[in-house]
Amino acid sequence: MSAWVIMGVSGCGKSEVGKRLADVLGAEFIEGDRFHPDENVRKMSAGIALTDADREGWLTLLAHELARACAGGREVVLACSALKRAYRDTLRVSGCDVRFVHLHGSRETIAARMGARAGHFMPLSLLDSQLRDLEPLEGDEAGMVLDVEESPERMIERIMARRSREGGNPSLDALS
């Protein structure tokens, strides 16, 4: 089964786009942030960037969640930053046909979005560390890049068009 990972830095719209995509697909939606251990949430809330070691168990847990969902025979959508290639490699070991949708935007746009939201543990002060860590999708990673300036509806249209075209042969396609 297919797993769609909606990825990008905090504030890019992963949860909103992910939920909408899951609704359209009739898929299970997994909010990656809900699986962070309490220690990770405390660190981020305090403005401390997570290390690779901090993320390791979290990513492994998300890979297990993907595997569980795909084993059930349904498509699944995961909202997860997946900032580095190594993180995406961990998610790929789930055994699902993983496809990434990188929501990309300018620092200014993302910062404005982060500043406007309430109740999230990720402070604006960590945006620059996430942008530094972000490694773009590589040519051998199945995925696409979407511009966060587009409406969520337009992003979903693009993802669905891509899904229809692919027929099981995903490849990188920058659509920003």
For 130-140, write each residue's pLDDT tens digit.
Answer: 899 999 999 99
Q: How many domains does the chain have?
A: 1
pLDDT in tens, the chain (176 residues): 789 999 999 888 899 999 999 999 999 999 998 999 999 989 888 888 889 999 999 999 999 999 999 998 889 999 999 999 999 999 999 889 999 999 999 989 988 887 766 666 666 677 888 899 999 999 999 999 999 999 999 999 999 998 888 764 444 443 33
Q: Residue 11: which region, alpha, beta or left (left: phi > 0; alpha: psi -120 to 50)?
A: left
Domain limits at 159? Answer: 2-174
* Exposed / middle / buried, residue 84 (Cβ in 10 Å: 0-12, 13-18, 19+): middle
CATH number, domain of 154, equals 3.40.50.300
The neighbouring-strand residues paired with 100 are: 5, 143
Q: pTM for this structure?
A: 0.87
